[in-house]
Amino acid sequence: MRRIFCYALFFAILLPDLAISQSEPVDTAMVAKIRDEGLNRSQIAMIAHQITDVAGPRLTNSPGYKRAANWAVSQMKQWGLSNAALEAWGDFGKGWELQKSYIALKEPYYQPMIAYPKAWTGSTNGLITAPVVFLEKMDSATITKHAAEIKGAIVLVSDGTKKIKSAFNAYASRYSDSQLVKMNDMYWFTRKMVDFYLPMIERQKKIKEFLVAQGPAALLLEEGGGRDGTIFVDGGPEYKKDVAPGKTSVVLSTEDFLRIQRLIEGGTKVQIEMEVKTNFDNGDLHGHNVVGEIPGTDPALKSELVMLGAHLDSWHSGTGATDNGAGSIVMLEVMRILKTLGIQPRRTIRITLWDGEEQGLYGSYNYVKNHFADVTTMQTKPDYDKVSAYYNLDNGSGKIRGIFTQDNEQVIPIFKAWLAPFADLGANTIANKNTGSTDHQAFDEVGIPGFQFIQDPLEYETRTHHSNMDTYDHLQIDDLKQAAVIIATFVYQTAMRDAKIPRKPKPNAGKWIFDGLD
């Protein structure tokens, strides 16, 4: 109670004109309660442990994803949320689980190596030992040149990397004030950009098919150029029900990859032994999102929605802590805070933890299509006009520094007022720019206000994103507490204001931007 009084005193003394000087009202008493609950009685660490350590990797439709999703549903029910459930969004494809992975240098000497199979790769069918063939380029001419050597061999495929990244460049950073002022579009892909990359993706797919046709025992890859044992690894389209499991493909650490390359280029014969065992689940091919609600109480507004979410799925070499356990953890904590405080929102508040984001925003895109509008036709459904806003978190574990408007200038004064109480926590930037490549884009593409927060980058892009380092210990728990408090405030204010969040003009029908990219 003393802390609540101190927070209230803070707002009364330091921000006396907040509610009257802004055109957008701010419930400072509720903000104080949210800060107190979120910063002093947080459950972030507990939620993070369950989502990452206990559930494990959360590849879409995998056992790990199902463990995390079922736990989230059970926990929301314990907190007293309504309608907590798994909701099928449509066909995804095969589940997949890595059951064993071993790879070691055998000749010219024995030494284990740091390596992870790509998702949905096939098994080696037991322990294999084979010579290594190095391909200096991934093109048909090089493959043809080495065709006789490739059959039955383990193929090392170069991506052009010749050295590791400099150790003098720090992994982690926070935004400076000058960087925040100059924020530009981030992760923003236009339809024109996607159309440019599609032919390149198709060419690479055909080249890999040509390589596999030569009969290699397995493929060794180096992708992303990590250092210090960091491996960036994802997967291909073999999850689709009509695509056969791919040839065993393993991503090596940059250090191990370059050592093998030097040995072969220096004339030393190299042998590797390896065993990869994977399991495909061809049973339930549906994908599932996690949903839960705090029902609205205003007779005139309770059918309207304020939505928040993050993607629960991850890649498989780590435990998906920063991508995007962090976002899911924060959004669950937001719902816990609001339910604990016993709020009576005018509009219904709905959390949705998305499935299939890593393969192309499938969970959110299909949810929007099923409930609100189809971007390809812009045929809308009755609930389309009932959504006030959707708030997303998916850029790692850094604290919130502000929010992107998605070029919606009408929200600037609203968000400015809502961020004002958090200047002391480092959040005061409104960037009238776009950010993309995550689930708010499914809403934005059909004209529903969807927003992603600006987060400190930390080591997200440099080390943890899609890597074996994406584990609990790379989470910044205090940063996540700050994020939960700010998002809870945005959600609460959105649920209580008289009018819905302003919308941009309704877009024209068009192709879903990520079609074909997997």
pLDDT band at 9 (very low <50, low <70, confident <90, very high): very low
Residues 88 and 102 in one domain: no
Backbone φ and ψ for 191, nearest 5 degrees, come out as -60, -35
Name which residue leads in pLDDT, 441 or 196. 441
Do both 153 and 23 map to the same domain?
A: no
Q: How sure is the predictor about 163, in pLDDT bands with cuts at 50, 70 and 90?
A: confident
Domain endpoint, select from 262, 281, 300: 281
Per the structure block, which two tokens stand in for 118?
């790509």
* pLDDT averaged over every residue in the chain: 94
Check whether residue 390 and residue 455 sit in a common domain: yes
Lowest mean pLDDT, pick from 13-17, 34-38, 97-101, 277-281? 13-17
- Whether residues 37 and 136 share a domain: the answer is no
CATH number at residue 230: 3.50.30.30
Instruction: Mark which of 281, 316, 348 sits at the end of a domain.
Output: 281
SS3 content of the chain, % helix, strand, coil (to 5): 40, 20, 40
Answer yes or no: is pLDDT of 159 > 90. Answer: no
Quick: pLDDT tens for 319-354: 999 999 999 999 999 999 999 999 999 999 999 999
Residues 329 and 461 both lie in one domain: yes
pLDDT at 221 (0 to 100): 86
Above pLDDT 90, what percent of the chain?
A: 88
189-198, 230-239, 300-309, 452-461: the lowest-pLDDT one: 189-198
Range list of H helices, 213-325: 254-265
DSSP 265: H
| 30 and 81 fall within a common domain | yes
Q: Determine the structural domain holding residue 417 and report its residue range.
A: 2-92+285-496
pTM of the model: 0.94
How many domains, in total, are found in the chain?
2
Question: What are the backbone dihedrals phi and psi of residue 415, each rounded to the nearest 5 degrees, phi first?
Answer: -70, -35
Cβ–Cβ contacts within 10 Å for residue 119, how many? 26
- Residue count of the chain, please give it: 518
Both 253 and 393 in one domain: the answer is: no
In a domain, 346, yes or no: yes
Q: Give a yes or no: residue 258 inside a domain.
A: yes
pLDDT tens across 395-450, in order? 999 999 999 999 999 999 999 999 999 999 999 999 999 999 999 999 999 999 99
Q: Does some domain include residue 503?
A: no
Residue 261 shares a structural domain with residue 408 = no
Residue 512 forms part of a structural domain:
no
Looking at the predicted structure, is the pLDDT value of residue 105 above 80?
A: yes
**pLDDT over 50 at 493, yes or no:** yes
Average pLDDT of the residues in 254-276: 96
Residues 157 and 86 in one domain: no
On whether both 226 and 87 belong to a single domain, the answer is: no
Tell me: pLDDT of 46 over 50: yes
CATH of the domain at 408: 3.40.630.10
**Over residues 220-230, mean pLDDT:** 85
